[in-house]
Amino acid sequence: EVQLVQSGAEVKKPGESLKISCKGSGYSFTSYWIGWVRQMPGKGLEWMGIIYPGDSDTRYSPSFQGQVTISADKSISTAYLQWSSLKASDTAMYYCARHRADTAMFDPWGQGTLVTVSS
């Protein structure tokens, strides 16, 4: 079964750093892209960026470029989303999803990681 399992919920203070993870299983991790999506409380989905673990090729939405870093460790089939200095406005649910380059599909999705940033 193809599965993406994300790390658990996080509660952080403004200014702290954070790295959340997304572990793939049941498929060749280096043959598919992994995308990250933000959903702020009560709001819609926002596409953040995408990485190809095979060669670490990474693309960012202009809205998130410079605000987050997407990376991957193919040796452990895990992608990451990290912040160097969190803001209260980073409070959101973050999802990862597998993406095939020759189609428009993001499937499957991870269960989501809730990040809460509060002083």
d(CA 60, CA 70): 8
Residue 91 burial (CB count, 10 A):
16
Q: Does 95 bind another protein (CB under 8 A)?
A: yes
Q: Does 9 bind another protein (CB under 8 A)?
A: no
Residues 12, 23, 59, 74: which binds another protein (CB under 8 A)?
A: 59
Residue 40 burial (CB count, 10 A):
13
Cis bond upstream, residue 53 (ω within 30): no
Nearer to another protein, 32 or 109 (CB): 109
d(CA 100, CA 18): 27
Q: Does 110 bind another protein (CB under 8 A)?
A: yes
Q: Does 42 bind another protein (CB under 8 A)?
A: no
Q: Does 119 bind another protein (CB under 8 A)?
A: no
Q: By the criterion CB under 8 A, which residues form the site for another protein?
A: 35, 37, 44-47, 49-50, 59-63, 95, 97, 103-112
